[in-house]
Structure 1
Amino acid sequence: MRARNSFAKDSFITITRQFTSILLGMLLLIVLARFLGPSGQGQYTLVILLPQLLMTFMNLGVNTSTIYYVSREEIDVDSAVKNNLYIGVFLSFVSILIGMVIAFFFSDRFFEEASTTFLLLSLIALPFMFLNIYFQTVFQGLQQFGVFNTILIITQLGTLFFVCLFIIVLDYGLTGAVVAFILGHLITTVSIVYILYAKFGFRYEKGAFNLSYFKKSVLFGLKAHISNVMSFLNYRIDLLLLGYFLNPAAVGVYVTAVNIGERISILSQSLSTVLLPRIASVDDERDRNRVTSILTRNFLVFVLLLTIGVFFFADWVIDLLFGVRYEKSSSLLKWLIPGVAALSIDRLLSNDIAGRGKPEVNMYVSLFNVLFNVGLNIYLIPLYGVVGAAVATTTTYILSLIIKIYLYKKVTSSNYRSFLLIQRDDLYLYSNLFKQLKTKMADR
C-alpha cells in the first residue's frame, strides 16, 4: 500500500487538504472567540493546553521514528500499528495520572483561573490524542498523504460540529467547548481504525509486538522527541507565562493572533509533512539537496508576500471575523507575523535534517530556543504585557532560523544561494506554469 506519487503531487494533495483544514480551523476559532469571549476563550486555551503538553512531553518521539522506519520499510504496517497501540495506551495512562496530580496540586501556578474540574475533564482526550498521532504517522511513513490529510480534516470538522452543537445550539459554554475537544479526537480515532481495517487490511492478529523495533524506535525517537518537546514549548511557553503573569482575557486576545499566524505556517507544515518521509527514503545526496533547495527558496518568496499581505490587512480581518473585543489582536498579529514567516522556513529545513537521520541537530537548536524564549518572555511580559510576549516569540523564531540556515549548510554542504535565492530555472518554471494556465483558460 506504499504510495508512489511524485513529490509535487503529494505536496499538492497535502496543501489542498490543508487549505480545507485552515478554513475549518478558522471557523472553529471564530465560533470560540465570539461565543466564549476573550476570557472564556483564554480559559479554554489553558484547559486544553494541559493534555497537549502531556501528550507532547510523554510521546517519546515514537511518532517521528514511525515515519522514519515505515518509510524505509524496516517494519510492516500491522506490526507498526500494533506496537504503537500498546505504547499509546500505556503512555496515555501514565499521562492521565500525571495530569491528575497537576490538576489537584499545581493548577494554581499556571492554570489559576481554569477550573480543576475542566482540567480533569480534558484528560479524557489523552488516549485518543496518543493513538491519533501514533496511527497517523503510519500513513505519513507510507506516503499516503491523501489519507493522512483527510484524518486532519476529520479532527477539525468533528470538533467544529460538536462546538457548534454544544455552544451555539445548547449553550453549554466552556463545558461544551471542552467536551467538543474530547469528542473531536474520539471521532478521529474511530475513523483511523476504520480506515486501517477497510483500506489497508490491518488485522490485529497479523501484527507482532517487536521488542527490538520498540527499543530502536524509542532510541531514535528520543532524539527527535526532545527537539519536538522544545519546539512545542517554544510555541506555547508564551501562553503559560501570560497565564502566570496576566489573566485569561489577555490569553484569549493573544491566542487569537497566534492562531491566525499558525494558519499561515500550516502551509509550510504541509510541505514538511511530505518532505520528511521523502528525504528519509532517498539515498542520493544530490537529489535530497535539490528537492529541499527548490522547495525552500520558492516557499520563502511565497511566505514573504503572504506576510506582507497579512500585515496590511490585519486590522480589517480581525475586526470582520472576531469583532471589536479582539481589536488588540491585530497589533499582536503584526508583531507575530515576521516570526511566523521565519518559522515556516525553519520547519522545512528542520524536517530535511531529521529526514537525513540527524534529529539531534534540531534538538540542540530547540533547547537553545526554549531557554532564550523563556528568558525573553519573563523579562518582556511584566514590562509590555501581551506585546512583550509577541516580540519575544518573533525574536526567537528569527534567531532560530538564522541558526538553522547555518547548520543546514553545514550538514548538506549546500551554498546559501542554492536554497535561499530564486534561481533562473525557477523563473522559467513560473513562466511555463503561467503559459499553461493561460492556455487552459483560453480553451475554456
Structure 2
Amino acid sequence: MGAVLDMSDDNRSFVRNSFLTFSRQVTNIVIGILLLVVLARILGPAGQGKYSLITLLPTVLLTFLTLGINTSTIYYISKGEVKLNTVYNNNIIIGTLLSIVSIGLGAVVIFFFSEKFFNETPHVLLYLCLLALPFMFLREYFQTVFQGLQDFKVFNTAMVVNQLGILAFVAVFVLIFRLGLEGAILAFIAGNLINVVYMVYQLKKRHKLRFDIRGFSWEYFRKSVKYGLKAHISNFASFLNYRIVIFLIGFFMVDSAVGIYVTAMNIGERLAIFAASVSNVLYPKIAAIETEEERNHLTSLVSRNILAITFVIALAGTLIAKDLIVTLFGEQYENSANLLRIILPGVALLSVEKILSNDIAGRGKPELNMYLSIFNVLFNLLLNVVLIPKYGLNGAALSATITYFVSFVVKIFLYKKVTNEPYHRFLLVKKSDLRLYKNVIRKLKLRY
C-alpha cells in the first residue's frame, strides 16, 4: 500500500491538473458571477428569468441529443484506442448533423408548447437562441477531446474563453447598444462561437488535425454510441434533475420567480467548483488506471476531502448568503438568499456524488449512474409538483436538497458495492490528509 501513497509522477500530474483546473475554474466563476450580476441588474428578476428560460431550451436540446459521444470521446481517447483525427472528424460531422436535428426539434417545441412553458417570453428570441446549437454541439465535442487527452490547460482555458466571450458581447450588445434581452441572447450565441474557434485553432496547432469528411468512421461511431448511450441517459437525467425545476417554476409561477431562483441556484453551483475541478480530472484518470488498488485509493482520497471542503464552503455560504446576494445583485434579489441557504447542503452532497459517479463511469459501469439518475428525475419531479404549488420557491429549493440527499445515500452504497471500500475510507478525513494539507501550505509559502 505504501507504493500507492507515494507521490509518483502520475499522482503529481493528477494534483497539478486538479489545481490547474481549479484555478481556471475560479477565474471562470468570477467571470460567470460578473455576467450574472450584469444581467441581473440590467434585466431585473423578470428579464433574468426570461434569459434563463430562453437559454435553457437549447441547453436541454444539446444535453438530450449528444448521444453520449462526448463521454465516449473522453473514454476512448484516455485509453488510446482510437486515432485522434478519427475522433475529430467524427465529432465535427456528428455534431453538425445533431445540431440541425436539434434546431428542428426546438422549433417544434416552441411552436406547440411555448404558451405553456414560455408564456411571458418573446417567441422570436426563443427561435433566435436556437442558432447557438451548432456551436454548442461542437464546443461540447471539442472540449471532451482535450479532457480525454488530459490537456487541462486548454480544456479549462476554453471554458474561460466561453464565459469571457459572452461577457464581452454582453458589454457590447447590452451595455453599449442597449439591446436588452435580445442583446443578451446574441451575446450567448457569439460567446459559444468564439469558444469553438479557439478550440479548433488549438487542435490544429497542437495536434495538426485536419478535417476530412472521408475520414468518418462508422466503426468508431457505433462503438462510441454503444458506450456513450449508457452515460448519456445518466447525464441527461442528471441534467433534468438540476434544471427541470426552472421549467416547473415557469409553469406554476412567473418569470420573475425564475430569476430569483436561478440567481440562488447559480451561486450555489459555483460554490461547488472545487469538486467539479477535481471531478473533470478524475474521470479520464480512472479510465486510464489499470489496478483496482490505485483506483480505490485515489477516489477515496479525493472523495473524503471534497466532502469536508464543500461542507466548510457550504457553511460559510449559509452565514453570508444575505450579504452576498444583496451586495452582488441588489435588494430586489433578497429572497434568493434564503433559497441559497436551503440549496447549499444539497450542493455539498452533490459534489461528492459527482466524484463517485465519475469513478464508476471510469470503471466502465456508467449504467449504474444511469439507473440512479432516472430515479432522481422522477423523484425530483414528484417533489416539485407537490411542493412548488404549496410552498413556492422554498418548495423548489427544498425539493432539490432532498433529492440530492437521497441520491447521495444511494450513490455511496453503489460505490461501496462496486469497490468494496469501507464507508469511512471515502467519507471521513484521515490524519494523513491533514498532513497533506500542511505540506501543500508549506510548499505554497516557500513558493510565494
Normalised TM-score (structure 2): 0.96
3-state SS in 1 of match to 2:272: helix
Q: 1:161 aligns with which of 168, 179, 186?
A: 168
After superposition, residues 8-407 of structure 1 pair within 5 angstroms as: 8-205=15-212, 208-407=215-414
Query: Quick check: 2:387–2:395 contact (8 Å CA) kept in 1?
Result: yes
Distance in 2 between the 1:427 and 1:23 partners? Answer: 29
Deviations 1:212-249 (A, max 9, x none): 11101001100000001100000101101000000100
C-alpha distance in structure 2 between counterparts of 1:112 and 1:265, whole Å? 33
CA deviation string 1:269-304 (max 9, x = no partner): 111100000000111000001111111111111111
Over aligned residue pairs, what C-alpha RMSD do you find? 1.4
Conserved 8 A contact 1:78-1:206: no
- Aligned residue for 1:106, secondary structure, equals helix
**Aligned equivalents of 1:205 and 1:91: distance in 2?**
18
User: What amino acid is aligned across from residue 353 of structure 1 in structure 2?
Assistant: I
Q: Which runs of 5+ in 2 are unaligned?
A: 1-8
Change in 2 beyond 3 A, CA 1:82/1:209? same
Corresponding residue SS for 2:121 = coil
Whether contact under 8 Å (1:319, 1:326) holds in the other structure is: yes
> C-alpha distance in 1, partners of 2:447/2:144?
37
Shift of the alpha carbon at 1:267? 2.0
Q: May I ask how many residue pairs the two structures share in their alignment?
A: 439
Give the counterpart letter for 2:94 in structure 1: I
After superposition, the Cα gap between the structure-2 partners of 1:108 and 1:7, relative to the gap in structure 1 and judged at 3 Å, is same
Q: Does 1:423 pair with 2:441?
A: no
Structure 1 residue 427, shift from structure 2 partner: 2.2
Letter in structure 1 aligned against 2:78? S
Deviates more, 1:258-267 or 1:283-292: 258-267
Matched letter for residue 90 of structure 1: L
CA distance in structure 1 between the partners assigned to 2:212 and 2:220 by the alignment: 18
Counterpart of 2:24, as a letter, is R
Q: Is the 8 A contact 1:15 1:271 kept in 2?
A: yes
Alpha carbons of structure 1 residues 118 and 206: separation in structure 2 relative to 1, 3 Å: closer
Structure 1 runs of 4+ off > 6 angstroms?
none
Counterpart code for 2:357: S
Aligned-residue offset at 1:428: 2.0
Range with bigger deviation, 128-137 or 203-212: 203-212
- Are residues 212 and 422 of structure 1, via their aligned partners in 2, closer, same or farther at CA, if it must alter by over 3 Å? same
How far apart in 1 are the matches of 2:101 and 2:300?
Answer: 42
- For residues 141-177 of structure 1, the C-alpha deviation after alignment (integer angstroms, 9 at most, x for no partner) is 0000001001000000000001111111111100000
CA distance in 1: counterparts of 2:418 and 2:307, whole angstroms = 20
Residues 79 and 208, structure 1, Cα contact 8 Å, conserved in 2:
yes
SS in 2 for 1:199: helix
The residue type equivalent to 1:124 in the other structure is L
Deviation at 1:432, TM superposition (A): 2.7
Aligned residue type for 2:115: D
- Please say which of residues 89-98 and 258-267 is displaced more in the overlay: 258-267
Instruction: Say which SS state the counterpart of residue 215 (structure 2) adopts.
Output: coil
